[in-house]
Amino acid sequence: MRVIAATVRDDLERETSPYAILGFLTVEHPSLPVPLRLVSDVIDYVWGGVTWTGMPFDFAQLSDDETAATAEIRVQNVDRRIGQALRALPDRATLRLDILTSADFDLAVEPRAEIGTALAIYSFSHVELVDVTANPVEISGSVFLRDPTQEPWPGVSATQSRLPGLYR
């Protein structure tokens, strides 16, 4: 996290702000050849030397109460490949969401280029994507932070198929 300069914060909160809040979403899974990288705009961005595909999506902060942290995410289904890739995964994908401001980018070029080193205002990572649904309009899912205290114990059992040397 970073401390947002008072002038930038005031500009972001002002009704007629010249800046937009941008979400940079990374979807990772061992089955994906490269992570999916999306930015919540219709134009591509280059951040951290990586190109992020412009695709509108809605996001929320993770809940902060006694239960496991959760949130909902909705991505516009303008490219079928994303929905197909997510539904084809054999298990849960992990997500990272970074929130930046458009003040950190040169908006006069395409794709939008980073000015200096853009830092996230807010981010969460290592959350898992579950309950993915897709229709012609949007792809939606729930994200949650795994609570290890709710996992069965032991997580790995010493079985003959897993450890055949113990059973000789």
**47 assigned to some structural domain:** yes
**Percentage, residues of the chain above pLDDT 90:** 27
The full DSSP string for 1-44 is --PPPHHHHHHHHSTT-S--EEEEEEEE-TTSSS-EEEESSSS-
**Burial environment of residue 12 by CB neighbours within 10 A (0 to 12, 13 to 18, 19 or more):** middle
Q: How many domains does the chain have?
A: 1
**133 assigned to some structural domain:** yes
**1 assigned to some structural domain:** no
Which of 32, 58, 51, 53 minimizes the C-alpha distance to 43? 53
**61-117 pLDDT, tens per residue?**
676 777 777 778 888 877 777 777 877 888 888 999 898 989 899 999 999 999 989
The domain in which residue 21 lies consists of: 6-167
What CATH number is given to the structural domain containing 63? 2.30.110
**20 assigned to some structural domain:** yes
